[in-house]
Structures are given as structure tokens and as C-alpha cells.
Amino acid sequence: MEMLPFMQSRQLPRHANVMILPCAFVLLIGSGCGETATTKPATTAPSPTTSVPAGPQAPSAAPAGTTVPNSEIVQMEINKAVMVTVELDYGGKPPSIAEAMRDIERRSQPADGQGRTFAILDAYGEPTPDGKLHLSMHVSSEKPGIGSLYFKRTGQQLWQANIAPGSPSTSPLAGKQLKIFLDDGKGGQKILDGSNNPANILGAIVNETKQPVRDVWPDGAEREFTFVYSACGCPVKVMVRRTGETTVRTKDLPVIFPDDPAVAESIRRLMGWVR
């Protein structure tokens, strides 16, 4: 089935949980996948040569459930994903997830010396009973090299991975396109076609029925939207309600595509979301 594009173009946390999600690129969005590994905190590592600026969901070598020092680099392949979960201590009231993302430094050391090795697709979480911030980040590997995450306030390393090329059949994704799926309210998902350059999402065409979205999405109804824009082909899901000729998010989380602000802005405009 063809995928239709919408866009061309405190202290160191006590532990960091890394859920390995070996998600291959998929045509239909399915549930997540994953092995789980738990890592312990470690000392700050030297800064790689290239930094990935922060914007405004091959398996790990460690078997599921393995505990390894955080100083040991997680092994993964390109076009895969991990869920990095940490608890950040702000020494007071924790900020929002969107605000906390500005305190997470992304560092890349690509094998070819150009660009970035990974991207954060989405982030969510909540304060813990003891006043820390429980934060989960969905990370997608993009090219061979080293990728790491640091908590700016302490300089401590949260996660680090050695990203390998993978098998001969695995190659870096030449380009990414935004794909959007709509929950049909009956447990299924519909692929949306934006090739008609709609003014907003309600004018997009449901690929299976050739109807505009406004004809299949009742006013006032809440629906789940799935966005795909990643090397791993992993979904980012949000809950949305139609309100007349526009839409509103019914939940603030997750923060979507923080490392691809142009994509996040395109989605915001298409959906009619107010900042």
C-alpha cells in the first residue's frame, strides 16, 4: 500500500531505562516493539565533535533485562529506535516536559563527520511523588556514529549509543516524508492523502474512500492521529478533537518531533493548532 506524503521536503538520575524498539519501516502503523535494558548512571563523557541543536516509540547487543553501566555504549543499528527513560532532579518543582526538553543536550559524532546520528521523535512524562521529573524520550537512529544525551544542568550523561550500519540490506534512509493516519473511530486507521495541498487537515483525502476528512470525522468527535517522520518508521500518536473547521489537541503530551521543528510546525499549521 502506497504511503502518501504530506510534505516534501539535581543530580544524575538514579537510573535510565532504555527500551530497544527494533521497528522497521512499516506501511501500516502497528503497536510498538521492544526489548528492555536498564542502565546505571555514569560519569560525563568527552563532548563529541558535532552537536545536534535542540528544537523549540538491530536490537541492542545487551539481552532483555540486562543491567550494564551507563558508561558502556548501547549497540544499535541505523533505522531503529529506543525509548530512553530517566528521572531528572531539578531540586524543586519540575518543569513541563516541553521545558525539560530544552535541558536535554543532544550530541552526535557521525562516522562521516556530517549531520546527526539520531533524533528524538517525541517525549512525555510526569512529576514523581518525590519531586523528580519522569521523562521518556523516543529516539530514532539515523546514521552510523555515536549518539548521546546529557542533562545540561549537571552535565551528566543520560544515554549513549554506538550506531552501526547494520546488515548489507540496511542502508541509511535517503529521505523522509511526513505520513498521517486517522483513527476511523472503529478501531482501524485510514491513510490520509495530502497531494491536493489542502488548506487544513479536514480537506485532506482519505485514501481508502477518496472522501475528504471532514466527511468522515464528525464535528466534536475525538480521534487519534498518527504521524510518521523518522528513519525507523516509528509512529507518534496524539489525541485530537474536531471543532468545526479546525482541530484541538485534547492532551498536551507527547511533545512531538522536538528535533525537527519544521515538521512540527507543518503539522501544527495543517491541524490548525494554536501555539
Each domain of the chain, given as residue ranges in start order, spans 16-164, 179-271
d(C-alpha 206, C-alpha 116), whole Å: 34
Q: Where are the alpha helices (DSSP H) in 140-260?
A: 213-216
Question: What nine digits make up the cell of 241?
Answer: 478533537
pLDDT score, position 2: 38
pLDDT tens for 124-174 read 999 999 999 999 999 999 999 999 999 999 998 999 999 999 776 665 555
d(C-alpha 155, C-alpha 152), whole Å: 5
- Kindly tell me if the per-residue pLDDT of 246 is higher than 80: yes
Question: What nine digits make up the cell of 41?
Answer: 548512571
Q: Indicate if the alpha-carbon torsion angle 73, 29, 99, 108 is positive or negative.
A: positive
Question: What nine digits make up the cell of 107?
Answer: 550530541
d(C-alpha 181, C-alpha 235), whole Å: 10
pLDDT score, position 166: 78
d(C-alpha 14, C-alpha 84), whole Å: 13
> Helix, strand, or coil here: 107?
strand
> Helix, strand, or coil here: 192?
strand
Q: How far is CA 265 from CA 99, 256, 268, in A?
A: 17, 10, 5
pLDDT tens for 86-111 read 999 999 999 999 999 999 999 999 99
Q: How far is CA 114 from CA 50, 111, 134, 200, 206, in A?
A: 8, 8, 32, 35, 38
**In this prediction, what percent of the chain has a pLDDT beyond 90?**
66
How high does pLDDT run on average in the chain? 78
Residue 236 confidence class, pLDDT cut points 50, 70, 90? very high
- Kindly tell me if the per-residue pLDDT of 63 is higher than 60: no
pLDDT score, position 274: 80
Give, in degrees to the nearest 5, the angle at Cα 159 between 117 and 133.
Answer: 120
DSSP code for 153:
T
> Helix, strand, or coil here: 32?
coil
- Kindly tell me if the per-residue pLDDT of 71 is higher than 60: no
Question: What nine digits make up the cell of 167?
Answer: 546488515
Which pTM value belongs to this model? 0.76
pLDDT score, position 223: 97
- Kindly tell me if the per-residue pLDDT of 84 is higher than 90: yes
d(C-alpha 107, C-alpha 148), whole Å: 5
pLDDT tens for 24-58 read 222 222 223 333 323 333 323 333 222 223 332 32
* Rounded average pLDDT over 265-275: 91
